[in-house]
Structure 1
Amino acid sequence: MPAGPESPGEMFLRIAERQPDRPALVIDEQTHTYGDLLDRARRLAAAIRLIDEGPLCAVYAKHSVWAYAGVLGILLSGRGYVPLCPAFPPERTRWMLGLSGASAVVADEGHVESLGEVICGVRKGLTVILPECLLPPSWAAQCPQHRMVCAGDLPARGAGFRLPDVGPEDTAYLLFTSGSTGAPKGVGIRQRNLMAYLSGIREVLDLGPEDRLSQNFEMTFDLSVHDMFVCWGFGACLCVPSPREAVAPSAFIRRHGLTCWFSTPSTAAVLQRLRLLRPGVFPSLRWSLFCGEPLPLRLAEAWRRAAPLSTVVNLYGPTEATVACTAYVYGGDSSAGECVNGLVPIGRPFGSTRAVVVGDRDEPVEGVGELLLGGEQVAPGYWGDAARTAQAFVSLPGGTPCGPWYRTGDLVERNARGDLVYRGRKDHQMKIMGHRVELQEVENVVRETASARQAIALGWPPTASGAEGVILFLAGAQASDESILAGCRRRLPPYMVPREIHRLEEMPLNASQKVDRRALLSMREGLA
């Protein structure tokens, strides 16, 4: 019996060669087969393999077949991919690109012009692959350090392609999460981390080639990794909504006959607010997955009724532990009694993941404590940041196996059945519409922009899963609101830019003489 694939690139290659005519991707009202997607990826891989330096290549694309072919082409070339979001500020994207050390960038036609804003400020010479462009863009003359590879320069049909050797310790992808110091943190996931996840999630899901899966996440969000590689690992079809359908995707689910849905609870909450979660409205769904933020009980129940033939699963996992590592199957009335504070449990570890709940001295505790994760899915640390790695990836007293252990910062406890229940955070990190946000990063950017004596960022308005956005309280700031927001837009992604700015003479203090964040929230509540 042949051994299983050792990398996501090899996995896709095997599936595509076995079923080239089956649908792999539906996007922009067009269906692309596994054979078509593989052909595009092979052509890109052949071009990337001509580049001598660097283990990583970036993808600067969004909502296009070449975005997905770019990811696959990079993996088939033996390198890891770095997704860059065209909606992010150029300064932030340029910083990520520089830290990654990527040697090449694959861009789709719709974002070639904005790419120029990013890389014309990059001194290191890059190979820029533009598979839809017949000629170099107008800005290329201003950036002679970069080499342009256009459509006519790509090898035809990936002739003579051979999959290169890829080791388990090689990087599969590099993502960036919000960081408390004011700069994003890079998380490099190795091939073995991703393959461990793809193996473990099969304990939770049962899918096949006839299934049709949703793709709701930006490629910079690690849940997109699940969308792509769980789907293609089962030989199924990935369906990508248009920007309009993504806002209210009810019709999209029905029109494409989706059998597996995956989103943050916030996306489902929008449908609930619009009264679109009517009983029985999604009869085609067999699986409904939620992750990225706490899942409210009322939302889980509303979704279960809307998709009565679907199994509702609450997944949990930080980027540092590769997509997700615990799961809880919601069972309606039987699950309601297991919910705490109106939130569905996050369940138990699957695959190779191990979980331990510890107290202040890192000793295992029976009650509420911090969740630490170990096992094959845990990343080796933060990209190029030994200090942060030492703080977050630790060994436990007594030589507890499965290390290093990743400190999630999440407070949990086990219920009577042994399932993990989410109880809050140890720090000021929160979820904004499913995105992980370190409020300290917002505060640091504002302090630098506004030269403020004090800057406090808070999530507002609150939701059961986190907050809808960020608001700001300032003391001793001279800069205008307009200049502060402009500075934020230059450095922060849209979901982290404050929606409101409130100015105070002095910040309220609590009994410990620290800024009283609850008092600030009460002030804002009083303005409603």
Structure 2
Amino acid sequence: MPSSSFLTRFAARVERTPSAPALSAGDRTVSYAGLARLAGKLGPVVARAAGAVCVPPRKSPETVALVLACLAGGKQVLLPPAELGSDALVDLCGQAGCSAVLAPDGEFVRLAGVAARPAGSGLLLTTSGTTGPAKTVVLDAAGLDRFFGWASARFGIGPGVTTLSCVPLNFDLSLLDVWAALAAGARAELAAPEAATGGADLADACGRADVVQLSPMHLRMLTESAPRPLPGVRHVISTGDVLPPRLAAGLPALFPRARLWNLYGSTETNDSFLGEVDVEESLALGAVPLGDPIAGVEATVAGEHGETVTGAGRGELLVATPFQARGYLDRRRGGLTPIGRPFRTGDLVERDERGRLFVRGRRDDQVKVRGARTNLHQVQEVILRHTDVVDALVTATADPAEGHRISAAVRLRPRARLTGLQLRVYCRAKLPATAVPSSVEIVEHRIGRSANGKRQAVATPKEGILS
């Protein structure tokens, strides 16, 4: 990824509309011709490397140009997580067979002990690592061409349209935000890192875009901090986590002219479900439906014993998509391990009598408390339904006596007087006794999550733990 088809289309954009904007970063805009020139200047640096290379994902036009230069030079390109330490980065490079680390300023660091193994051009991403060690995923060129075509058609991405890139380049969201935009002749707005952590900065970035793809965490930041509505946005895509209905209810006022979408997918399969959010329906149901399978996607629900759930019921979601990655890569352990078709997502879903699907957590979210199976996602959703709660994060720690102890970090609405003890009483009325958190922290600041809005850490407590 991107394939020769992508590079051909990009070159055609450079030829036909050289002055059209390709990327923006703050007050700076780079045209398609300018981006091509940047990539051309980096060609000699790329030529020094043998085999796959690693490009730290510092979000800038120069980094995008370096990735283009690597792909044009026939290299596999690993975009690692930005927060990796040096030892972890070297280990990941060894896994992917990257013999060198390249930077847009021409810096070239050869990695000792990593054998160069040419394997054709393409992009290597990593899984989030939120449910286990990060894995290197080899994207499929033809699948990505199909994805670019679908995304541009579905969300009207093309010349004169601006997409917003809010997360780092190593996240799979960038496939739509950056690469699909460049494939279609659109402009990608590369939001500054502070936009991912500050609602006002994020609102400024959204104000320059037509299509915004954001996690519920980022959407919540906007509803709390945006100084004014954003009428220029035409499509708002919520992805990366479950969209709470009450959060969805506040989005039409913030984006008065936008269509609101719920998009589901994973790094391994790319996007697989899409639904336009009906706020009134979601509020009545108490959850936002997953949506419908994208054209060409096959989806099944597998029960606890592997049986196919054909009607209403619960189970793990299995999907096979036209955009699916080739496999996991670890050249130290034999190379490429194909990704199964269908792919086991690890997400637990519920299908209602009308065929609507709802995410109910992950297999990893299920823990045993005093011998009873408990779904952490369910506990979190119950807490989020309290009218005084803005955000919540439920976690579990191993306990020798009880199996696990459940904890909750909760952020309240301004001026709310709710205590942790009151929240536990509230949970007792709605959950089995084993699912009631044994400790609750009321926190002042936003609940800690990773840059793409997934679970990360518990915030600093405002008041003591109430057991």
Amino acid at match of 1:420: L
SS of 1:525's equivalent? strand
Identity among equivalent positions (%) equals: 25
Instruction: Find out whether 1:345 has 2:289 as its counterpart.
Output: yes
Q: Distance in 2 between matches of 1:25 and 1:197?
A: 20
| SS, match of residue 70 in structure 2 | helix
Distance 1:296-1:125 versus aligned 2 partners, 3 A rule: same
1:515 paired to 2:459: no
Counterpart residue number, 2:124: 173
Partner AA of 1:13 in structure 2: A
Corresponding position of 1:63: 59
Does structure 1 residue 306 correspond to structure 2 residue 258? no
Q: Could you tell me how far apart the structure 2 residues matched to 1:107 and 1:232 are?
A: 21
CA distance in 2, matches of 1:462, 1:192: 39
SS in 1 for 2:330: coil
Counterparts of 2:74 and 2:287 in 1: how far apart (Å)? 42
Q: Quote the Cα distance in structure 1 between the aligned partners of 2:392 and 2:93.
A: 28
**1:60–1:83 contact (8 Å) kept in structure 2:** yes
Match of 1:191 in 2: 141
Distance in 2 between the 1:10 and 1:467 partners? 45
Match of 2:274 among 327, 337, 352: 327
Task: Give the direction of change, closer, same or farther, for the CA distance of 1:57–1:8 in structure 2 (3 Å limit).
Answer: farther
Residue 228 (str. 1) matches residue 218 (str. 2): no
Letter aligned with residue 383 of structure 1:
L
1:220 counterpart SS class: coil
Displacement of 1:87 in angstroms is 3.0
Q: Would you say the 8 A contact 1:171–1:191 is kept in 2?
A: yes
Q: Which residues of 2 match residues 110-509 of structure 1 at below 5 A?
A: 122-124=112-114, 171-178=122-129, 183-250=133-200, 253-254=203-204, 257-274=208-225, 276=226, 281-322=229-270, 324-337=271-284, 339=285, 342-365=286-309, 366=311, 367-384=313-330, 393-394=339-340, 404-415=341-352, 417-428=354-365, 473=397, 507-509=400-402
Deviation of the 1:62 alpha carbon:
0.9
User: Residue 197 and residue 235 in structure 1: after superposition, are their counterparts in 2 closer, same or farther (change >3 A)?
Assistant: same
How far 1:516 sits from its partner (Å)?
Answer: 4.7
Q: Give the whole-Å Cα distance in 1 for the aligned partners of 2:5 and 2:269.
A: 17
What value does the CA root-mean-square deviation take over the aligned residues?
3.7
Aligned position for 1:100: 96
- The alpha carbon displacement at 1:20 in A equals 1.1
- Name the CA shift for 1:206/1:336 in 2 (closer, same or farther; >3 Å): farther
Whole-Å separation in 2 of the counterparts to 1:379 and 1:61: 20
Q: 1:303 to 1:354 in 2, by over 3 A?
A: same
Q: In 2, Cα distance between the equivalents of 1:232 and 1:60?
A: 20
Distance 1:17 1:469, change over 3 A: farther
The count of aligned residue pairs is 395
C-alpha distance in 2, partners of 1:105/1:252?
Answer: 31
Query: Mind listing any 5+ residue stretches in structure 2 that lack a counterpart?
Result: 368-375, 408-433, 442-464
- Please list the CA deviations of residues 23-47 of structure 1 after superposition, one character each: whole Å capped at 9, or x if unmatched: 1111142111010111112333454
Contact 1:172 1:194 in 2 (8 A): no
Kindly indicate whether the alpha-carbon contact (under 8 Å) linking 1:80 and 1:174 is maintained by their aligned counterparts in 2.
Answer: no
Distance 1:375 1:302, change over 3 A: same
**Amino acid in structure 1 at the alignment position of 2:294:** F
With over 3 angstroms needed to count, the CA separation of the structure-2 counterparts of 1:217 and 1:335, relative to structure 1, is same
Query: TM-score normalised to the size of structure 1?
Result: 0.66
Task: Tell me, yes or no, if structure 1 residue 21 matches structure 2 residue 11.
Answer: no
Query: Aligned to 1:376, what secondary structure does the other structure show?
Result: coil
Letter in 2 for 1:72: L
What letter matches 1:364 in structure 2? T
Measured against aligned partners, the alpha-carbon deviations of 1:83-123 in whole angstroms (never above 9, x if no partner) come to 124432222212111111123322145x96xx97xx77x43
| Equivalent residue in structure 2 for 1:35, among 24, 33, 36 | 33
**Cα distance in 2 for residues equivalent to 1:470 and 1:75:** 42
CA contact (8 A) 1:177 1:186 kept: no
**1:220 Cα deviation from its structure 2 partner:** 2.0
How far did 1:521 drift? 7.5
- Whole-angstrom CA distance in 2 between matches of 1:73 and 1:42: 7
Cα deviation, 1:475-525, whole Å, max 9, x if unaligned, reads xxxxxxxxxxxxxxxxxxxxxxxxxxxxxxx6332xxxx435476972331
Give the unaligned 5+ runs of structure 1: 127-165, 395-403, 430-438, 440-457, 475-505
Contact 1:199 1:351 in 2 (8 A): no
Does structure 1 conserve the Cα–Cα contact (< 8 Å) formed by 2:244 and 2:288? yes
Contact 1:196–1:351, Cα closer than 8 Å, also in 2: no
Is residue 167–residue 196 contact of structure 2 (8 Å, CA) maintained in 1? no
1:185, distance to aligned residue in structure 2 (A):
1.5
Label 1:389 to 1:20 Cα distance change in 2 as closer, same or farther (>3 A): closer
- Cα distance in 2 between the residues matched to 1:47 and 1:319: 29
| Partner SS state of residue 84, structure 1 | coil
2-side partners of 1:179 and 1:334: how far apart?
Answer: 31
TM-aligned CA distance change 1:239 to 1:180, over 3 Å: closer
Judge conservation of contact 2:54–2:101 (CA < 8 Å) in 1.
yes
> Which has the higher mean CA deviation after the structures are superposed, 58-67 or 327-336?
327-336
Closer/same/farther in 2, CA of residues 413 and 59 from structure 1, 3 Å limit: same
**Residue identity opposite 1:312 in structure 2:** L
Following superposition, the deviation at residue 48 of structure 1 comes to 2.5
SS of the residue 2:359 aligns to:
strand
Cα deviations across residues 450-484 of structure 1 (Å, max 9, x unaligned)? xxxxxxxx99x95759987797857xxxxxxxxxx
Q: Which residue of 2 aligns with 1:446?
A: none
Mapped partners of 1:524, 1:248: distance in 2: 29
Quick one: which amino acid aligns to residue 343 of structure 1?
A: A
| Offset, 1:243 | 2.9
2:335 & 2:347 partners in 1: Cα distance? 17
Distance 1:60 1:205, change over 3 A: same
Question: Does residue 87 of structure 1 match 2:83?
Answer: yes
C-alpha distance in 2 between matches for 1:379 and 1:229: 16
The amino acid of 1:320's aligned partner reads E
